[in-house]
Structure 1
């Protein structure tokens, strides 16, 4: 169903007490390698409550969002992505894989194939901020990330998935 990565705080990257949820081949049935795939994945996420979707890549610098969680799905190619900041966990992200990053979790593309593309979306269509770990008020940014509400739905399984098992149950 999903692999769990518990990422520790790594100042200036707050990361999050909630685990990263990695869904290997979680969307493989949607990957058709045509120009409609991105829009189909955006629609799939919208059905699960994750909107404000986009199609692009992953930045090649450590960054995070302090005001929202983020789901990413690889729709083309592959990449090695580091989560948690420098010396963090490296994951291989290939077509059909998805990852749900809690607010505050740093991520960076280390390597990628030339055709690498992802779809990104946010619970309830939140507009993400872009933090590079340069804020003068680290504790405030960290608290903002930790205060982001856990979504009611999982981006892949909606009401019966890893969000319910590893995020909602862990906060009650």
Structure 2
């Protein structure tokens, strides 16, 4: 698995572990967000021998090995939304994209091919801008087979918060690290 991570530019940097950037976002009354950190694992650059299908295959293998099932390929909706019954991971297959995380008052984050983004249930996300070839692979923990999609609607907020509290935490992040290290 280490060889696959290396081809994706995701090499361990601290005590043999990949270390993500960590971001948290406040509840704004429309998007609940969560106290759990959004995780961004930055790639140092993909192996130049890989085409987009090979990158997808690598991410699918790594995600599946670590208990995150691959679900779809595509982009992010251009409106603020979140999921209240599942955590979500994105592996960037190609191009670059700018996403706003955390709702309207959140933070813009740029991701590029090889990066992995882990959004805890309740975290708002929205497409802002992207290259023409921007493509993601989405994955979800094995025990989270259903996915809801909730827009930034205050009438949905309280019920969503209750559902978010019940979402299980997988043992590992999609790249194989102990998730409890980032989500205590």
Give the TM-score normalised by structure 2.
Answer: 0.82
- Cα 1:26–1:133 change in 2 (3 A) is farther
Moved more, 21-30 or 39-48: 21-30
Report the CA distance between 1:32 and its aligned residue: 1.6
Per-residue displacement from partner, 1:35-64 (whole Å, max 9, x unpaired)?
Answer: 333233122211110014211111111111
Q: Is the alpha carbon distance of 1:43 and 1:30 closer, same or farther for their aligned partners in structure 2, counting shifts above 3 Å? A: farther
Give CA deviations for 1:123-152 in whole Å, capped at 9, x if unaligned.
115221111123634211112112211111
Where in structure 1 do 4 or more consecutive aligned residues deviate above 3 Å? 26-31
- Using the size of structure 1 for normalisation, the TM-score is 0.88
Please tell me whether residue 129 in structure 1 is matched to residue 148 in structure 2.
Answer: yes
Rg larger for: 2
Aligned to 1:42: 60
Q: How many residues align?
A: 165
CA distance in 1, matches of 2:130, 2:51: 17
SS of residue matched to 1:46: helix
Alignment partners' CA distance in 1, 2:123 and 2:158 = 15
- Do the aligned partners of residues 64 and 155 (structure 1) sit closer, same or farther apart at CA in structure 2, a change above 3 Å counting? same
Does the C-alpha gap of structure 1 residues 45 and 129 become closer, same or farther in structure 2, counting only changes over 3 Å? same
What's 2:76 paired with?
A: 58
Once residues 30 and 48 of structure 1 are traced to their aligned partners in structure 2, the CA distance between those partners, rounded to angstroms, is 25
Corresponding residue number in structure 2 for 1:12? 30
Unaligned runs of at least 5 residues, structure 2: 1-18
CA contact (8 A) 2:122 2:164 kept: yes
| CA spacing shift, 1:75–1:137, aligned 2, 3 Å | closer
Distance, in Å, in 2 between the alignment partners of 1:113 and 1:86 is 22
Alignment RMSD: 2.0
What is the correspondence of 1:1-172 to structure 2 with a 5 Å cutoff? 1-25=19-43, 28=46, 32-124=50-142, 126-134=145-153, 136-156=155-175, 158=176, 160-161=177-178, 163-167=179-183, 170=184
**Contact 2:92-2:136 within 8 A present in 1 as well:** yes
